[in-house]
Chain A
Amino acid sequence: MVASGGSPGGRGPGGSPGAGTRAQEALRTSAAGLLAEGKVEAVIGYGLSPAGDVVPRFVRRSQDAAGLLWNDRCTYNLVGYLTDRDLLAGLAGPEGAAGADTAQSPRFAVTVKGCDLKSLVVLLAESQVRREALTVIGLPCGGVVDQEGRLLGKCVACPEEVRNLRTEPGESPANGPPAGEPAAARRLVDLVMGDPVPGDRIAASAPLQAEPFQDVAEIEGMPRAGRRAFWDAHFSRCLRCYACRNVCPLCYCKECVFDQHNPRWVSPAPGIPSNRAFHLIRAYHLAGRCVDCGECERACPVGIPLRLINRKVAQVVKESFGFEAGTSPEARAPIVDFASGDPEEFIE
């Protein structure tokens, strides 16, 4: 089905056309300004393809900023493009590429929804992107929809401070404020497009999941053999196309463990044992890092419920370490952190 409707590609971010149009106009104006003033080499945002699909759009000339789009079909998390060095070098052109890794490294603007912003926070915490080379354009969001127009699972019960990008580092009760830094240096979003949007659609969907990890609990409530059968049935369809890994904003390793030839850690041939290994190892590598942006599940062509796996790991990290990924660029994930007072009971 082609993503087309009354307005090009979908409804406004709050479900109402008016507010969306204003935010989209603000976005086009801001992007054109940033490009015209030479503040950024390119704006990474959403656009509409000739066939009527919402697609990632890389705008390099101010006159093309009018092609930027913002509505409820803008599902993609564009943050992943920020670690594609080849892509950024291409966008910057010959001069920009020459300036890479220097003080004059090229600057880019990226549009983010609140959920996407969390993955950017993790990239900042892991020193994968240079905040000073980035203009972050926030898009207040009332929920995004799939190709059939249904609200995405990740949008269900999305909190107000996330969807309206009020998440400021250090203000998260989960991880505590870092001390002694001026607020301006910790700013995450440079520009916010339009007004905060009401959460009517999200509120309407909230009863679908009363508890934060209810979906995980449902699987865990199954007998062991049932769980095994559930996952094997899903994993048996896995093509090992790696769409889940490649779309993941946090899978940025230059050489992925699944691509190594010598030694070959996991067979690249699909099969239930190798597919199980692939999905579980990937989940481990995202432990304390995954922000549940849901891109893996959206990208999977064969409908494997990948968010369930990642959310199980997120639940363990939260319960064991009191940590939630994507809340502060200063916080280190438990898996990469070291505490000298750690009893390390498991080593004995």
Chain B
Amino acid sequence: MKVLTRKALEALLAARVEEWELIAPVEIDGKSYFHALNSGSRLGEVTDASAAPLLTVNPVKEFFFPRRQELYVQGPEGITSLDSEPQRPRLLLFARPCDARGLGVLDRVFLGEVPDASYAARREATTIVGLHCLEPDSRCFCSAVGGGPFGTEGMDMALTPLDESRFAAEALTEKGEALLAALGAAAGKAGGAPGLPDAGEAERRLVESLRAKAEAAVSRDLEIPSPEALAARFESDYWIEASRSCLACGVCSYLCPTCHCFDIVDEGYLRLRCWDTCSADTFTRTAAGENHHKHKHTRYRQRVFHKFGWFKENYGTVSCVGCGRCTRHCPVKIDIAEVVNGVGASHG
């Protein structure tokens, strides 16, 4: 474990801004969003973001699985492929543990048997610097789905804020080691000794106490029903009750770090891929007009079964990282944890 000063991080970002594509949280009208910064214009805000509110509105998935991805265009000469791979190495800064774990879930889909070339290229080009959560809130339930506020899964480097000017930094992969070395060199150029100092006993103890405090703060429990228990509730009226207030909008799926359903759409001669959501009436509507999910409660059931049943059967993990975005941003505050916990309690 090393100690990284904010100054060294800022120095490296400033030096590499032209060379890298930087993806980091920035504030827009009082809300925090992950944003791709292609110039140094907002660089000053970036390191402050480590002290900003817990989670960004958007998860990081759009930088790997874009909401709008132009695939090809059909012209008189035939088909021209359009999807461009990242031209520059990318640094994803301050991904929270749930965000980084969410990419692990997407990897199972997009890097599985038939890898998705553009997703793979975007993943390969990106170094992920995670940021541990010191103050999880009452919506967070990362610990209930296998993660935690100090989790490191999916990160190349993990940062823990020690105080206003320093982080504890730990490299977790080769990419992380390379970045750590670059940060060390930047620290040297910024006037300090080259290389980052090792964390001392005091810093280690501080990290441990911060970890204990954060982990204790994630108290929300989730009773994930077994696939059999879920299946037994398939026809239950529970889904009507659970989704009664649902507006059938796409907030929960579009802000979910792991939802990955997409649609293929044509805009004239342009073919593209965009996100889709099982909440929408159009999700399973066929060209002939038939719709397998006419009612919002079967669509909501689809969401819960996919995340906590079928995905687990297929990939060995639930496709939920407990970030709580779906509940925070739901216009009528449907709480997925409450719905999942209610499955076991419902009879009928």
Q: Is there an interface contact between A76 and B332, defined as CB atoms closer than 8 Å?
A: yes
- Tell me if B10 counts as interface (CB < 8 A to partner A): no
Of A96-104, A136-144, A198-206, A267-275, the stretch lying at the interface with chain B is A267-275
Contact of B282 among A261, A299, A303 (CB under 8 A): A261
Q: Is there an interface contact between B249 and A299, defined as CB atoms closer than 8 Å?
A: yes
Q: What would 12 A/B residue contacts be, using CB atoms closer than 8 Å?
A: A51-B327, A90-B244, A246-B247, A247-B247, A261-B282, A264-B265, A268-B274, A269-B267, A270-B67, A299-B249, A299-B251, A303-B31
Considering the complex of A and B, which 10 residue pairs feature the smallest CB-CB distances, nearest first? Answer: A241-B250, A269-B274, A299-B331, A243-B249, A246-B247, A53-B333, A56-B245, A301-B329, A246-B249, A239-B254
Look across to chain B and name the residue whose beta carbon is closest to the beta carbon of A259. B282
Look across to chain A and name the residue whose beta carbon is closest to the beta carbon of B263. A268
- Tell me if B296 counts as interface (CB < 8 A to partner A): yes
**How far apart are the CA atoms of A161 and B307 in the complex, in Å?**
48
Contact with A along B244-274 (1 / 0, CB 8 A): 1101111100110000000101110000101
- Tell me if B33 counts as interface (CB < 8 A to partner A): yes
- Tell me if A118 counts as interface (CB < 8 A to partner B): no
Q: Is there an interface contact between B251 and A243, defined as CB atoms closer than 8 Å?
A: yes
- Tell me if B30 counts as interface (CB < 8 A to partner A): yes
Report the minimal beta-carbon distance from A285 to chain B, rounded to whole angstroms: 17
The interface residues of chain B, by DSSP majority, are classed as: loop
- Tell me if A166 counts as interface (CB < 8 A to partner B): no
Which residues does chain A contribute within 8 Å of B250, judged by CB atoms? 239-243
Q: How many residues of A contact B (CB 8 A)?
A: 42
Contact with A along B29-65 (1 / 0, CB 8 A): 1110100000000000000000000000110000000
- Tell me if A37 counts as interface (CB < 8 A to partner B): no
Q: Is there an interface contact between A267 and B335, defined as CB atoms closer than 8 Å?
A: no
Contact of A50 among B265, B280, B334, B338 (CB under 8 A): B338
Q: Is there an interface contact between A2 and B67, defined as CB atoms closer than 8 Å?
A: no
Given A51-B138, A298-B331, is A243 in contact with B263 using a C-beta cutoff of 8 Å?
A: no
Which residues does chain A contribute within 8 Å of B263, judged by CB atoms? 268-269
Residue from A55, A264, A274 having most chain B Cβ neighbours under 10 A: A55
The interface residues of chain A, by DSSP majority, are classed as: loop
**How far apart are the CA atoms of A237 and B137 in the complex, in Å?**
25
Q: Which of A45-64 contact B (CB under 8 A)?
A: 49-56, 58
Contact with B along A54-94 (1 / 0, CB 8 A): 11101000000000000000001000110000110010000
Which residues does chain B contribute within 8 Å of A50, judged by CB atoms? 335, 338
Q: Is there an interface contact between A303 and B247, defined as CB atoms closer than 8 Å?
A: no
Report the minimal beta-carbon distance from A152 to chain B, rounded to whole angstroms: 14
Q: Which of A212-263 contact B (CB under 8 A)?
A: 237, 239-243, 245-247, 259, 261-262
**How far apart are the CA atoms of A271 and B275 in the complex, in Å?**
12
Look across to chain A and name the residue whose beta carbon is closest to the beta carbon of B332. A56
Which residues does chain B contribute within 8 Å of A259, judged by CB atoms? 280-282
